[in-house]
Amino acid sequence: MFSRFLFLLFVVLLAAVAGFQLRMSAAGKPALVTGSATGIGRQIAHQLAKEGCNLVINYPFEGLKEAADAVVQECKDLGADAIAVEADVTKPDQVADMMKTIASTWDEPLYICVNNAGITKDSLALRMKPADWQAVIDVNLSGVFYCAQASAKVMTKARAGRIVNIASVVGQIGNVGQANYSASKGGVIALTKTLAKEFGGRGVTVNAVCPGFIETPMTKDLPGVDQLLAAIPLGRFGQPEEVAGMVRFLCTDDASGYMTGHMFDVDGGIGIGV
């Protein structure tokens, strides 16, 4: 009887230690958040900083350096290490250079990649300029692929990693005036499922977060606000912190280690029934 008690006690202690290790697994590991100088990306960086990650604050051009540096300091104030890296996600060579910078900055391999960088160039489809179509596809879809591909080369070698792609509810339901944006985010959803199948056997999960209408600089000038709010069951726009909280959940092993290839809507219910 006593030996059985000792065995059960050992099992309980082992489970407790394992649980602790899972909860702490993101601490001290590099986490890349693309387009994180402002908006949702900034809030995601804050959430991961609270997990103790080493943050890579990515920004696309010199004009956002000051904002990126400010986010770096905010992450440090939260107790994390952080650096700012300028890289255009539409340029594979710049993405590769960013990966080299990450590898030379910390001993731990890249563990988290949040593909958040995105733009809008809205117009009715009949009036949409080819350049506006291509620009959105380049950043929102091709940029996600380039960063996921480069990150996965590191993660699959380490047999551990979390990739979270920021898609959108309009990638599921469409939206008037956003043919390019809807197509790009629908592509991200399909890409997420494919990468999850390809990388799953090597210890890497790939999921997508699909925000609805979130209060950011990119959505503040949307026309027909009253009509939009009427279509949202919760009757309000979401906050960047709410999207960031979902990303944090997906990047924490004990919460999401057995989740991959799925879409997680943070949309106030606007996508119900899709």
What CATH number is attached to the domain comprising 258? 3.40.50.720
**One-letter amino acid identity for 241?**
E
Q: Which domain holds residue 213?
A: 26-266
To the nearest whole percent, how much of the chain has pLDDT over 90? 81
Position 33 in a domain: yes
Report yes or no: 92 and 141 within 8 Å, Cβ to Cβ: no
Position 13 in a domain: no
Strands of 161-166's sheet in order across: 82-86, 54-59, 30-33, 112-115, 161-166, 204-211, 263-266
> Where in the sequence numbering do the catalytic residues fall?
181
CA 27, distance to chain mean position in Å, is 17
Mean per-residue pLDDT, 81-100: 99
Model confidence at 8, pLDDT cuts 50, 70, 90, reads very low
Position 211 in a domain: yes
Position 272 in a domain: no
Report the candidate in 86, 65, 72 with the shortest Cα–Cα distance to residue 42: 72
Number of domains composing the chain: 1
Mean per-residue pLDDT, 53-71: 98
Position 274 in a domain: no
Q: Taking 50 as the threshold, does the pLDDT of residue 6 lie above it?
A: no
pLDDT for position 4: 52
Mean per-residue pLDDT, 76-93: 99
Reported as type and span, the H/E element at residue 15 is helix 2-24
Position 93 in a domain: yes
Position 237 in a domain: yes
Residue range 158-212, pLDDT digits in tens: 999 999 999 999 999 999 999 999 999 999 999 999 999 999 999 999 999 999 9
Q: Taking 80 as the threshold, does the pLDDT of residue 110 lie above it?
A: yes
pTM comes to 0.89
Using DSSP's 3-state secondary structure scheme, residue 268 falls into: coil
Report the candidate in 15, 38, 40, 71 with the shortest Cα–Cα distance to residue 238: 40
Report yes or no: 271 and 235 within 8 Å, Cβ to Cβ: no
Q: Taking 70 as the threshold, does the pLDDT of residue 86 lie above it?
A: yes
pLDDT for position 216: 77
The position carrying tokens 């539409």 is: 90
Residue range 228-266, pLDDT digits in tens: 889 999 999 999 999 999 999 999 877 789 999 999 999
Model confidence at 274, pLDDT cuts 50, 70, 90, reads low
